[in-house]
C-alpha cells in the first residue's frame, strides 16, 4: 500500500490576503524647531506608545485620553496621552522636560509644518494649553 504524500500549506498567504497581520506602528521623527526644543528635548521620535528624546530617554504612554484640546481659546484636534510612569526626565544640557514636577500628560497638535508638544503635571486630564508647564515645537524630517 502506497502512502500518499502529506500536503503542507501555509496560512500566511491567507492571513496576508485577509489583512489579519497587524501593520507596523511607524514613529514620527520630528526635528526640534523652537529654541526650547533645541535646548531641552532635541529631536524626538513619537508614536502611539511613547516618545523618545534625542539623548535616548524614553517615556511610555499609558492611554490616549482625548482627541481634542483647546489652544489659545480655539479647539484643535490633538492627541492627549497619560503617562505610564510620571517623571520629569533629564534631557539635553541637563535640562528637565517640565522642570516643575512629574509629567502626567503630554498633548500634541499641529499642522503640516509644525507639531507642538505640550507637557503637563496636572492630576486631571488637561482640556487646554492653559495648564501646561512647557511646550516645544517640532517640524517633520521630510
Under a CB-based contact definition with an 8 Å cutoff, are residues 60 and 48 in contact? no
Residue 12 has pLDDT above 70, yes or no: no
The continuous run of DSSP H or E covering 18 comes out as: helix 12-18
Whole-angstrom distance, CA of residue 112 vs CA of residue 11 = 40
pLDDT of residue 100: 76
CB 61 within 8 A of CB 83: yes
Q: Is the pLDDT of residue 10 over 60?
A: no
pLDDT at 42 over 80: yes
Kindly give, in sequence order, each residue whose CB lies less than 8 Å from that of residue 100, ignoring residues fewer than 6 positions away.
88, 121, 133
Q: Is the pLDDT of residue 139 over 90?
A: yes
The pLDDT value given to residue 142:
58
- The per-residue pLDDT of the chain, averaged, comes to 85
What's the pLDDT tens digit per position in 94-112? 999 998 799 999 999 998 8
Q: Whole-angstrom Cα distance, residue 103 to residue 41?
A: 14
In degrees and rounded to multiples of 5, residue 28 shows phi and psi of -90, 125
- End-to-end, the C-alpha distance of the chain in Å comes to 66
Amino acid at each position: 500500500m502506497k502512502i500518499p504524500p502529506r500536503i503542507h500549506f501555509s496560512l500566511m498567504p491567507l492571513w496576508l490576503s485577509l489583512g489579519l497581520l497587524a501593520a507596523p506602528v511607524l514613529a514620527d521623527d520630528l526635528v526640534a524647531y523652537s529654541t526650547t526644543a533645541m535646548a531641552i528635548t532635541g529631536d524626538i521620535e513619537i508614536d502611539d506608545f511613547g516618545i523618545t528624546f534625542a539623548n535616548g530617554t524614553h517615556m511610555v504612554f499609558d492611554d490616549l485620553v482625548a482627541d481634542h484640546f483647546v489652544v489659545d481659546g480655539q479647539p484643535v484636534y490633538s492627541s492627549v496621552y497619560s503617562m505610564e510612569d510620571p517623571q520629569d526626565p533629564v534631557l539635553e544640557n541637563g535640562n528637565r522636560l517640565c522642570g516643575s514636577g512629574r509629567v502626567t500628560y503630554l498633548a500634541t497638535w499641529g499642522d503640516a509644518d509644525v507639531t507642538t508638544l505640550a507637557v503637563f503635571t496636572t492630576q486631571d486630564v488637561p482640556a487646554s494649553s492653559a495648564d501646561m508647564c512647557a511646550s516645544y515645537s517640532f517640524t517633520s524630517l521630510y
